[in-house]
Amino acid sequence: MQYAYPLLAIFIWAGNTVVNKLAVGSIFPAEIGFYRWLLAALLFTPFMLKPVIANWSIIRPNLGKVFILGVLGMAVYQSLAYYAATLTSATNMGIILSLMPLMALTAAIISLGQRLTFGALTGAVLSFTGVVVVVSAGSLGALLQHGVNLGDGMMLVATLAYAVYSTLLKKWQLRLPPLVLLYLQVLVAVVVLFPLFMFSAKAGLGWANIPLVLYACLLASMLAPLAWMHSVKTLGPSRTTLFFNLLPLITALIAAVVLKEELALYHLVGGLLTLGGVILSERWTTPVRREASAA
């Protein structure tokens, strides 16, 4: 039963990647990006005002850090994913997103002084090779000639933003209840995305896109983070992170069924290389310095 929570979160986030693609042509990226956080804020507020007031003495000196976390983790990461969906496939997005644990590990080595391991080095090379295979559609010559697809590039930036967000979350160790911190970041996303929403084209809410907004808000923005936080609490962060490796596979399967996206050989090769690199970086933890000293 304890594995149900991380699996639920991963299935919801994989489904949300497909929802990003379904939103293309039905609602503009700036709209769904703003509406999901606005609705989440409205639903959270009646329950969170009292905890926020109770923790205000801790919140006030950390408002700048909360703002940065909200911009990176909620506004930049989520909004770029909607724009990326207009230019690339859900399968590509899922595979690129699977780089997040490795990016977070790299950021932790750089900023937190975490030990560099042989697994991290080898995994970085394997995962990078896998993503190159995917974004080049299996043709390195085409990649060198035309460059990276803009949608894939946006997804890479979005993934990096969330990796930095995860690293800062660990580095700063804000002494706030998880729900309070999540709620404050939702408020930041509403404020930051409002100008973009105001000056962007609008399709308006209708029967065709309201279910997409509700999925993005109720499931991807509220239920999945709560399930993930519960998993971290019961299983621990390292064991929970392993479930993230299932994201590209589940995304590809849902995209194949719902969107009729075809899985090409380069998706399989690139996905396996990327996934193998991430797993290797997590499992092969021999420090580089120790081996060098022994030699």
pLDDT in tens, 203-259: 888 888 899 999 999 998 888 888 887 787 777 665 666 677 777 778 888 888 888
Kindly give, in sequence order, each residue whose CB lies less than 8 Å from that of residue 198, ignoring residues fewer than 6 positions away: none
CA atoms of 94 and 26, how far apart (whole Å) = 21
Residues 38-92: pLDDT tens digits?
A: 999 999 999 999 999 999 999 999 999 999 999 998 889 888 888 888 888 887 8
Q: What is the DSSP string of 108-177?
A: HHHHS-PPPBHHHHHHHHHHHHHHHHHHTTT-HHHHHHH-S-HHHHHHHHHHHHHHHHHHHHHHH---S-
Q: Which residues of 90-127 are buried (b: 16+ CB within 10 A; e: fewer)?
A: bbbbbbbbbbbbbbbbbbbeeeeeeeebbbbeebbebb
Residues 276-289: pLDDT tens digits?
A: 776 777 677 777 66
Domain ranges of the chain: 4-294
pTM of the predicted protein model:
0.79
Copy the structure tokens of residue 44. Answer: 């959270």
C-alpha distance from residue 178 to each of 52, 76, 132, 162 (Å): 11, 20, 36, 17
Q: Alpha carbon 85 to chain centroid distance?
A: 14
Question: Are 187 and 129 within 8 A, CB to CB?
Answer: no
Q: Mean per-residue pLDDT for 184-188?
A: 94
- The H-or-E segment that residue 274 falls in is helix 265-283
What integer pLDDT is reported at residue 293 of this predicted model?
A: 47
3-class SS of residue 287:
strand
